[in-house]
């Protein structure tokens, strides 16, 4: 795996972007559904065994604004010129490759579990769902809960008095279709058995407000979070509104510090 590093800080680079929310799997359990339980909002994609394939999905509407794909393609062009990456010259996976026929949605994911290490795992800062505890209690389980789950927040108040509300894992309705969501994330590139792909891992997601129905309609089913839209078609939240991969080692892909400020600059 290659990760984008910030040379100025010698740490993993953190990027920010804003997109329109489309859907998400349950924030507490993702696509993990133990035997005997009923999945919700997971059409034929649930996992009953604890593995690295268990994850929470965060779906964004990119039918009108495809800038996330444009930014990732820039990094993909850079990483394919790095001799440490993709030594077997595998092709790029078709998953979220930015083709016009499959670029109306972008899905970021956060893993529910990580492999056990030699050190004692950190205690998560959130309440672990009973389904997750049941899965980890299975005999011979080689995983622990992933403590690096994204934080979910909402910006409340008004344009001059911005405050933030932290959502709990149970607030499944915290993000609704058509919301503008600002989020921070890291970028990585993974080589699997037959292909390679780029991935973003969200760190924080902040619900900033909601597009008006007219703005969504003008986007022909999507919406484009451009600066001018915030003045004319942006509804700010009111007070109290609720809103298995091939292991090739971890190697930093170093970039200059300017790349860390904005994903599109």
| Distance set, CA 157 to CA 168, 212, 241 (Å) | 19, 18, 9
- pLDDT for the residue 160: 67
- pLDDT for the residue 232: 30
Interstrand relation of 11-12 and 2-6 (parallel, antiparallel or unpaired): antiparallel
**Spatial distance between the Cα atoms of 262 and 98, rounded to a whole number of angstroms:** 20
DSSP β-bridge partners for residue 211: 234
- Give per-residue pLDDT as tens, 146-184: 988 898 888 876 666 667 788 765 555 678 889 999 999
H helix intervals, the chain: 67-79, 130-136, 213-218, 227-232
CB 152 within 8 A of CB 174: yes
Nearest-10 Cα torsion for 225, 228, 231, 235: -20
- Give per-residue pLDDT as tens, 49-88: 999 889 999 999 998 889 999 999 999 998 888 888 888 8
Find tokens 């972008």 and name the residue: 106
- pLDDT for the residue 184: 92
Find tokens 């929470």 and name the residue: 56
Mean pLDDT value of segment 10-29: 90
- Other Cβ atoms within 10 Å of 219 Cβ, number: 19
Q: Which two tokens stand for residue 160?
A: 């001059």
223 DSSP 8-state letter:
-
**Spatial distance between the Cα atoms of 221 and 239, rounded to a whole number of angstroms:** 29
- pLDDT for the residue 233: 32
Q: What percent of the chain has pLDDT over 70?
A: 72
φ, ψ for residue 173, nearest 5 deg: -85, 10
Residue ranges of domains in the chain: 2-260
Q: Give yes or no for residue 265 having a pLDDT over 50.
A: no
- Give per-residue pLDDT as tens, 89-135: 999 999 998 887 778 999 999 999 998 875 567 777 788 899 999 99
Tell me the pTM: 0.77
- Other Cβ atoms within 10 Å of 155 Cβ, number: 18
258 or 178: which leads in pLDDT: 178
Q: Which two tokens stand for residue 128?
A: 């672990």
End-to-end CA distance of the chain: 24
Interstrand relation of 11-12 and 91-92 (parallel, antiparallel or unpaired): unpaired
- Give per-residue pLDDT as tens, 189-245: 989 889 999 999 999 999 888 876 655 555 544 433 333 333 333 333 333 333 333
- pLDDT for the residue 127: 83
- pLDDT for the residue 170: 55
12 or 216: which leads in pLDDT: 12
Exposed e or buried b per residue across 35-69, where buried means at least 16 C-beta atoms within 10 angstroms of its C-beta: eeeebeebeeebbeebbebbbbbbbbbbbbbbbbb
């Amino acid at each position: 795996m290659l990760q984008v590093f910030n040379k100025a800080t010698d740490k993993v680079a953190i990027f920010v972007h804003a997109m329109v929310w489309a859907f998400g799997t349950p924030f507490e359990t993702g696509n993990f559904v133990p035997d005997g339980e009923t999945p919700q909002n997971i059409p034929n994609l649930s996992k009953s065994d604890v593995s690295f394939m268990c994850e929470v999905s965060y779906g964004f509407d990119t039918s009108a604004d495809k800038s996330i794909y444009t930014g990732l393609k820039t990094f993909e062009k850079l990483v394919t010129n790095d001799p440490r990456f993709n030594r077997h010259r595998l092709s790029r996976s078709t998953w979220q490759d930015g083709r016009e026929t499959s670029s109306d949605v972008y899905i970021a994911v956060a893993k529910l579990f990580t492999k056990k290490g030699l050190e004692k795992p950190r205690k998560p800062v959130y309440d672990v769902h009973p389904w997750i505890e049941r899965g980890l209690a299975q005999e011979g389980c080689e995983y622990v809960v992933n403590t690096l789950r994204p934080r979910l927040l909402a910006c409340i108040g008004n344009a001059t008095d911005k405050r933030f509300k932290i959502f709990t894992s149970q607030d499944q309705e915290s993000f609704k279709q058509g919301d503008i969501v600002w989020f921070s994330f890291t970028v990585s590139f993974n080589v699997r058995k037959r292909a390679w792909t780029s991935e973003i891992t969200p760190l924080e997601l902040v619900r900033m407000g909601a597009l008006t129905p007219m703005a969504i309609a003008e986007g022909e089913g999507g919406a484009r979070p451009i600066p001018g839209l915030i003045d004319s078609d942006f509804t700010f939240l009111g007070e109290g509104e609720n809103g298995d991969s091939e292991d090739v080692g971890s190697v930093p892909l170093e970039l200059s510090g300017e790349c860390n400020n904005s994903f599109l600059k």
